[in-house]
Copies of this chain bind each other. A is one copy, B any other.
Amino acid sequence: MKHLTFLIFLTFLLISCKKETQTKDFLPSWNDGTVKSSIVNFVKSVTDPDNTEFIKKEDRIVTFDNDGTLWVEQPLPTQMFFAFDRIKELSKNKPKWKKQQPFKAILEGDTATIASFHTKEALQIVLNANAIDDVEKFDVVVNDWLKTAQHPTFNKPYTDLVYQPMLELLNYLQVNDFKIYIVSGGSLEFMRAWASELYGIPSEQIIGTTLKTQETIIEGKPVVQRLSELEHNDDHEGKVISIEKIIGKKPVMVVGNSDGDLEMMQYAFSGKGSRFIMYLNHTDEDREFLYDKDTKYGVLKKGIIEAEKNNWTVIDMKNDWKIVYPFQKTNTK
């Protein structure tokens, strides 16, 4: 009898909790409209066991791009600003960099040359900035930098420039038992230092571009060293390769903002059952940056055509987001 009473009370409690989850607005920074409602409808349908679109918890895999999808990537992705400062720091022990491009331009603050850098130079800078004799030391290096570094036009810490509506979406999905992976063209080691805490995503759910590593024994202790050598470029089809290898399941939802995300979107979209593919379109000149096809980082050209063709969701930042950054939250909210 005692147990029955327990159970009845527990059932009531669970029902009232579930009701709250169903009626609560998890996306308060999103304006009402087709984008917001399509997100909510997708989540509700695939998490409802009575719906034909239902997806089991273990298959609720979602992949998010990072730069330009979860935080600002203009005028350059944050990791590039970090790499520039890191190269300056490391140059103390690398005298030859003074005469060698692309390092020379960074050390001299030669912005015209820096602006002319292409993928090859950018990669060379990142490879050298992120190589380290003990990978365990790297998080501290990145976090020390993040504490003082500021975005060049916003004059705010980079970690302030995450998109509040996306933080709400990450939380909304997690509350509904989706497992979120960040699958970024940015380097894994840079994201790991801060993304877990900022986004609430464990390190083992962060996937990115990787450098070669090796194990060595230093003073009897096993140490992993990261070399200045590219191992895997996690962009375009590289994202598909990583997802297949590391996750082993097709995502049921993908969120990105550039052509670099298109292949993983098409890959996810080719799966059976309900799929939700969404692009963020940077339409907001005032609150963020206005860019799509004519930009160095975050080009969106082919992707937007595919989105229209396949009826994917496209976020219009200007119209779909009430606020862009957490610091714009008002107390009345």
Contact = CB atoms under 8 A, between A and B. Distances in A.
A221 interface: yes
A144 to B, nearest CB: 19
A204 B240 contact: no
- Of A188, A213, A214, A215, chain B has the most CB atoms within 10 Å of the CB of A215
Interface stretch (A76-84, A163-171, A263-271, A279-287): A263-271
Interface in A219-251: 221-222, 224, 237, 240-241, 244-249
Contacts of A245: 188, 210, 213
A5 B64 CA distance: 42
A222 B192 contact: no
A122 to B, nearest CB: 22
A246 B205 CA distance: 8
Contacts of A270: 221-222
Contacts of A246: 204, 246
A110 interface: no
A222 B266 contact: yes
B248 A203 contact: yes
A50 interface: no
A206 B241 contact: no
Interface in A162-195: 179, 188, 192
A202 B179 CA distance: 12
A154 interface: no
A140 interface: no
A10 interface: yes
A72 B215 CA distance: 29
A247 B207 CA distance: 10
A184 to B, nearest CB: 14
A107 interface: no
A33 B267 CA distance: 51
A90 interface: no
Interface in A55-92: 58, 61
A141 interface: no
Given A9-B10, A58-B202, A214-B237, 13 more contacts: A61-B204, A135-B244, A179-B204, A192-B248, A204-B247, A204-B249, A206-B248, A213-B245, A214-B241, A215-B241, A221-B270, A222-B263, A224-B241
6 contacts: A203-B249, A204-B247, A213-B241, A215-B267, A221-B270, A222-B263
